[in-house]
């Protein structure tokens, strides 16, 4: 899979950096950057989608930390109208990745 160098999320360009020795992903709002681990090729699409979607949800302020014990303790909360906006943002972020027929 070819990973894009950038995506647009909430009208901002986010750089995507690849890390061959990593098997996870992360994002940093301060510098509008995502890291995508490519150690396991079969997991790259899942990691990329995870980070893009989580970044969108966090940018829309629907991302809450409920415990200080790591990322597994995050809560996402939104209604259907917000979900539709999240999907619109996801479609915009993926428009250059997914080929149109």
More confident residue, 57 or 67: 57
The residue range of the domain holding 38 is 6-94
Do the domain assignments include residue 1? no
pLDDT of residue 72 exceeding 70: no
Q: How confident is the model at residue 85 (pLDDT cuts 50, 70, 90)?
A: very high
- pLDDT at position 2, please? 84
Residue 70 and residue 78 in contact, taking contact as beta carbons nearer than 8 Å: no
Do the domain assignments include residue 99? no
CA distances from 95 to 34, 36, 60, 70 (A): 17, 18, 19, 31
Task: Give the CATH number, domain containing residue 37.
Answer: 1.10.10
Joined tokens for residue 33: 């950057």
Do the domain assignments include residue 40? yes
């Amino acid at each position: 899979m070819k990973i894009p160098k950038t995506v647009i999320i909430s009208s901002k360009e986010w750089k995507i950096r690849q890390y061959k020795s990593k098997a996870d992903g992360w994002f940093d709002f301060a510098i509008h950057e995502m890291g995508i681990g490519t150690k396991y090729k079969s997991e790259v699409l899942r990691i990329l989608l995870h980070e893009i979607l989580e970044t969108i949800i966090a940018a829309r302020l629907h991302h809450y930390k409920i415990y200080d014990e790591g990322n597994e303790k995050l809560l996402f909360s939104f209604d259907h109208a917000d979900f539709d906006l999240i999907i619109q943002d996801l479609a915009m972020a993926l428009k250059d990745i997914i080929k149109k027929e």
